[in-house]
Amino acid sequence: MEHVPHQSSQANNLKFTYSPNELGIAYANRMKYKQSLELLSEVETCYKEFNKSENKAMSITDIFRTPEEIEVDKSTKEFESLYTLCWFYLAQVYGHFGELEKSAQYCHMTLKRQYSAQTYEPIDFALNSATLSQYFIGQNMFKEARHHLAAATLIIAEYASKISHMDNSISRTRNAKICKKHSNIVMLMWPVVGQNTV
């Protein structure tokens, strides 16, 4: 088929991103952090090299499609989501190795990408952002701590507003309780930031 040669370089790139990413995540979940770091670092390198090229992002299923059938926007989102997941797990792996600064950097970059793409789960995002603020407090980086705690507060407030408009009363009540619980956790962190930014 005529579209195969055109896609061969991109398909080759997929081989070195999707597969190592899945394996890296699997190793991380099995607490084999050295193997996980090697694979996820490989994915990160491939992603950066791919971005320097003029190739369009592809999903695994795109390999079997003609150029006319490929949905570029959808494939790009999937490819970017893959990389965001790679950074998320790199943050966890570096944390397990005690490299807290690198872990915090990758966590920050993950949150930033999730927010930009609007692909986050509100409670998880808020808690991760609030937890990261505590790391910055410990490093006397109070501006960064305040920024992440403010982000957590905003996201959880937006989620609370969304919950209030749910049609299902049972889901609304259940989610409101969960949201309130985690909102209280986030609010308890503000005094520490406030004391150090006055």
- How many structural domains are present in the chain? 2
pLDDT classification of 15: cutoffs 50, 70, 90: low
Identify the residue whose tokens are 């950074």. 87
Tokens of 67: 């150029």
Residue 183 lies in a domain: no
Same domain, 82 and 146: no
SS3 133: helix
DSSP string, 49-99: HHHHSSPPP--GGGGGS-TTT--HHHHHHHHHHHHHHHHHHHHHHHHHTT-
Residue 195 lies in a domain: no
Same domain, 56 and 95: yes
Residue 154 lies in a domain: yes
Same domain, 92 and 8: yes
Half-sphere exposure of 155 (CA within 13 A, CB side): 26
Q: Which pLDDT belongs to residue 78? A: 83
pTM of the predicted structure, to 2 decimals: 0.82
Residue 25 lies in a domain: yes
Q: What percent of the chain clears pLDDT 90, i.e. is strictly above it?
A: 61
Look at 4-8, 134-138, 170-174 and tell me which has the smallest mean pLDDT.
Answer: 4-8
Residue 112 lies in a domain: no
Residue 188 lies in a domain: no
Same domain, 91 and 44: yes
Domain extent, residue 133, equals: 120-166
Q: Considering 47, 68, 99, which residue would you say is the last residue of a domain?
A: 99
Same domain, 12 and 55: yes
